[in-house]
Structure 1
Amino acid sequence: MLIRNQDVRKGGFMARSNMTVAEMIGLFLDPAAPVQITAFDGSHFGDSAAPLHLEIKNSRAIYYIAENPNDLGLARAYLQGDLDSPDLQPGNPYQVFKDLVALKKYVKKPGKADLARMAAAIFSHGIRIPEPPAIEGPSLAKRLTEGLRPHTRKGDAATVSYHYDQSNDFYRLFLGSSMTYTCAVFEKPTDTLEAAQEHKLNMVLDKMNLKKGDRLLDVGCGWGSMEVAAAKRGIHVIGVTLAEEQVEWAQEWIRKEGLGDLAEVRLMDYRDVPESGFDGICSIGMMEHVGYKQYPSYFKEMMDKLRPGGILLNHQITRTNSHDNKRAGGFIDRYIFPDGELASPAEIELAIQDTGFEVMTQENLRQHYALTLQHWTENLQDNWEQAKTMVGEPKARLWGLYMAGSRLNFEINNIQVHQFQCIKPDPATGTYSYPLRPWWDR
């Protein structure tokens, strides 16, 4: 019997089985694991003195995890409040994540007989498939049926809108006054987020060696912080994004600063920008949406839009090696970046060079992104009640989950973020001269 039920009841889950939830957990974790787990059926796993405490509040959590025994199943249970922890800081589950990672060495692999016994216990009164949380986005298969092929203009517009067309005021709760949703650059760990974001914007502009009167294209401009920073230097800048909410915010910001004669933000795909001959192009945290197979055509677009001697500053999250799968897992694909893909720095640099650019520098900012995310999660934690009011608790939980998990993954070097500084050679000579030593403040 297949039952699809949004509200799986607490009672009776183990009525037809003699196996408790704690016994199921014991199939996968050594008894010495530093965690205590309490379950809705009254069973307990682990010592109450353990540093980490988890609560499985109802049977729906079990069905979510049984259907998707990976990050998607766990995320669904957490977002619905079915899986929780009294140790968790509202909006900032970072420490709980860190403690969970410490459990890896206690993980066991159960035998086939034990797995069969567990499955029988779970499904003893019917196979239940609870509905996913209402905030979950469609699967790749569903997106394809709607004509949203990955990394096409239509597909990109839909997926970018899904992530960024949230409440601007909600983003401001954790991004702060800079409204900059990319890795900041810290001179020292005690820098404020605002100072580190200002440093990052200035460093990017300096790396492109832009002067007053130069022309800049900002691909994936977000809420306009780069446009404001560039225009204040007298640089003519065009920013493009596929998120309407960002365009509205950026245009208003530019108007308030009185920079409308220098800065412009458009709701536009980067492939549709008609201008060319730019002195610089920056792409800060946008390449995650492009797709690995589209790298050659993307960098060709950048090459065509730059003047000879113009500089591309490409900044993106990366895999640590070339062997990992490019596509994100189920959680990220359904909830954060549909169709998002990450490649290694070597693969990116190869695509850049094969397009004809000369790579001048490559810089890894992994530790800086971990610090940035620490600030964002702490901001969300400080504004937790307001966040819940704005977007509802499941979505507020989602952003805390995503950012805290990302912070930990940057810290333990599961992912990195790289800046590539690239110059377009003169097509006649195949080269272009630039200063012998770095001219910017790192």
Structure 2
Amino acid sequence: MSQSTETRTKLSIAEAFDSLMREPLPLRITAYDGSAAGPEDAPYRFHVATERGLSYLMSSPDPDLALGRAYVSGDLQLFGAHPGDPYEALKVLKHGIKFRRPTPAELVTLVRSLGISHLVPPPPPPEEAPSRVRRVFEGFRHSLSRDAEAISHHYDVSNRFYEMVLGPSMTYTCAVFPHEGATLEEAQAAKYDLVARKLDLRSGQRLLDLGCGWGGMVRHAAREYGVKALGVTLSRQQAEWAQEEIKRQGLDDLAEVRHLDYRLVGEGSFDAVSSIGLTEHIGVRNYASYFGFVKDKLKPEGRLLNHCITRANSYQSTRTGEFIDRYVFPDGELAAPGRLVSAVHDAGFEVHDVENIRVHYARTLAGWCANLEANWDECVAEVGENTCRVWGLYMAGSRLAFERNEIQLHHILAAKVTDDGSNGFPLRPTW
């Protein structure tokens, strides 16, 4: 700006945002007061549509939560990108928006210009979960009751909504694309088969799938390998859908999905355990007890395949950001792969293979966003526009994070070794 905010008596909303930039805006910003900033021919435009939106942006100390609230509520509008897949616009934001810290005098001018009343936070959108502090009243973090509430918040949305976003596989975990031209459905089937091969599943064996979702791994193991498979999930809607699909496919004699906390599984002596996308929900401090539980459920020489999102390094916080915690995965935690490998190893397993498939998750998320965009009107009719905006924002943002190596996805394959050191593995991998 040619004139600093110290010498200005009042700034418009757009001018206020522009004054906080270290570099010229790469997009257009407009506001309900008629102000505008940024290039007129920019491919994307953010519009602060209401005073409530301005209050969301000014009142939260966390920028991601502030932007998320305003966007989810519809008070911050994005033009130039579909809300089902705002990926390209987020790339511009990520690469081009560089805030600077205002001086105390500038801060006073900004607050006076925009109104001190906007520092009072409005009620959050109804899609937002309570804060971590308030969730204490729902039980201790990762207690049975609080975990059930956290899972229900995200997964008990609408099975029809998930069918439209995830596609026919109803698989809400990272796919594995066998080649460049593979479809999302082919990649999800390839993922399940890769897990099955790593576990060396064979007819007549027993598989326990922890956090089974809609039962994709359970059905694949039963249908393709003749395995007797039990899956458990904390989502009642997932369990009901999975059981109906098992019956529809005629797999009742081999496959079962229960609405049950994994800690309450009574059976044991399984040949294999798959944990696909559950570890993110159990809490880092519970790794020891979790992998100890898994080991106790396995036969000697039984195998574990743990599939989960991980941090790119050990220096990042294990807690997710405020937007993800409030709108997507309450109480979710992520650790670096080394921490997970150590936890598996220290539980008494022998770790045999670690594979990073993060680039596959970026592609998976692109497929889900494309599905949401293609089915937008029906999705909005099913769960409401606010919820659909949450999904578009978080999936596109997650895609960008995987592409930028900010988060990763690891498979950890391990075996329960016998007392005499036998692990049941051949000399070289077969998968």
TM-score scaled by length of structure 1: 0.93
Selected match of 1:183 from 174, 196, 199: 174
Give the whole-Å Cα distance in 2 for the aligned partners of 1:27 and 1:382.
38
The answer to whether structure 1 residue 357 and structure 2 residue 349 are counterparts is yes
SS at match of 1:150: coil
1:208 paired to 2:213: no
**Aligned residue number for residue 10 of structure 1:** none
Q: Check if 1:76 corresponds to 2:69.
A: yes
Match of 1:136 in 2: 128
Structure 1 position 26, deviation (Å): 2.2
Q: Deviations over 1:263-286 (max 9, x none)?
A: 111111111111111100000011
Matched AA of 2:215: G
- Give per-residue Cα distances to partners, 1:349-384, cap 9 Å, x unaligned: 111111111110000010000000000000000000
Deviation at 1:127, TM superposition (A): 4.7
Q: Given the alignment, which residue of 307, 314, 321 partners 1:315?
A: 307
Q: Which moved more, 1:329-338 or 1:215-224?
A: 329-338
Choose from 134, 147, 158 the match for 1:156.
147
Distance in 2 separating the partners of 1:23 and 1:90: 26
Give the corresponding residue for 2:430. Answer: 439
Cα distance, 1:202–1:36 mapped onto 2, change above 3 Å: same
SS at match of 1:140: coil
Aligned equivalents of 2:170, 2:40: Cα separation in 1: 42
Equivalent position of 2:6 in the other structure: none
What residue number does 2:216 align with?
A: 225
Match of 1:121 among 103, 113, 119: 113
Percent of paired sites with the same residue: 47
The alignment status of 1:95 with 2:84, answered yes or no, reads no
CA distance in 2, matches of 1:286, 1:221: 8
What is the RMSD of the two structures over their aligned residues, measured on CA atoms? 1.4
Residue 3 of structure 2: aligned partner: none
In structure 1, C-alpha distance between the alignment counterparts of 2:291 and 2:80, rounded to whole Å: 46
Distance 2:66 2:118 in 1: 19
Instruction: Say whether 1:420 aligns with 2:412.
Output: yes
Is contact 1:31-1:46 (8 Å) kept? no
| Structure 1 residues 39-71: Cα deviation after superposition (integer angstroms, max 9, x where no partner) | 111111111123332211122122112111411
Matched, 1:86 2:76: no
Change (3 A) 1:382 1:42: same
Distance of 1:283 and 1:266 partners within structure 2: 15
Residue identity opposite 2:402 in structure 1:
F
Q: How does 1:257-406 map to 2 (within 5 A)?
A: 257-406=249-398
Alignment deviations for residues 363-416 of structure 1 (CA, whole Å, 9 cap, x no partner): 001000000000000000000000010011101111111111111111111100
Alpha-carbon contact 1:295-1:351 (below 8 Å) kept: yes
Counterpart check, 1:66 vs 2:58:
yes
SS of equivalent residue, structure 1 residue 85: strand
Correspondence for 2:159? 168
| Structure 1 match to 2:5 | none
Question: Is residue 189–residue 371 contact of structure 1 (8 Å, CA) maintained in 2?
Answer: no
Q: What code does the residue aligned with 2:350 have?
A: E
Q: What's the offset of the Cα at 1:437?
A: 1.6
Alpha-carbon distance in structure 2 between the residues aligned to 1:328 and 1:129 = 22
How much does 1:83 deviate?
1.0
User: Residues 3-56 of structure 1: CA distance to partner in whole angstroms, max 9, x if unpaired?
Assistant: xxxxxxxxxxxxxx7221122112321452322211111111111123332211
Equivalent in 16, 19, 27 of residue 35 of structure 1: 27
2:244 maps to which of 252, 273, 284: 252
Q: Structure 2: which 5+ runs fail to align?
A: 1-8
Distance 1:326 1:197 in 2: 27
Amino acid at match of 2:81: L
Q: Which amino acid aligns with 1:165?
A: D
> Per-residue deviation at 1:128?
3.4
* 1:49 paired residue number: 41
The aligned residue for residue 4 of structure 1 is: none
How far apart are 1:126 and its partner, in Å?
6.9
Q: Which runs of 5+ in 1 are unaligned?
A: 1-16
Match of 1:119, SS state, is helix
Q: Look up the equivalent residue of 1:333 and give its one-letter code.
A: D
